[in-house]
């Protein structure tokens, strides 16, 4: 499993405990307001952004958590 995949698994596991409070979406959103925000949110500065996770709160839809999974090369050994 790639290092970023391990991080994604941790995020999925964590937020699975809060499904009554949050909506967890991966890479894209079914919410048209969120989709509009992502249209110009690419890491390269233009184009659509596809974050690893988009977390929205059911009772506060204006508050979002956007997660881009990374790993720390200093901690994770290089598998070469």
Higher pLDDT, 79 or 55: 55
* Structure confidence by residue, pLDDT tens digits, 16-56: 999 999 999 999 999 999 998 888 887 777 788 899 999 99
pTM assigned to the model: 0.79
Both structure tokens of 11: 């995020």
What pLDDT score does 49 carry? 86
The answer to whether residues 5 and 70 touch, using CB atoms and an 8 Å cutoff, is: no
Q: What is the mean pLDDT of residues 66-76?
A: 77
**Strand 22-25 and strand 60-67: pairing?**
unpaired
Torsions phi, psi for 57 (to 5 deg): -90, 130
C-alpha span between 12 and 28 (Å, rounded): 15
């Amino acid at each position: 499993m790639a290092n970023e995949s391990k991080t994604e698994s941790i995020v999925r596991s964590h937020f699975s405990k809060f499904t009554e409070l949050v909506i967890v979406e991966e890479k894209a959103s079914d919410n048209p307001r969120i989709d509009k925000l992502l249209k110009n949110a690419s890491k390269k500065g233009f184009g659509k952004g596809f974050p690893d996770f988009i977390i929205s709160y059911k009772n506060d839809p204006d508050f979002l958590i956007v997660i881009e999974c990374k790993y720390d090369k200093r901690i994770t050994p290089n598998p070469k």
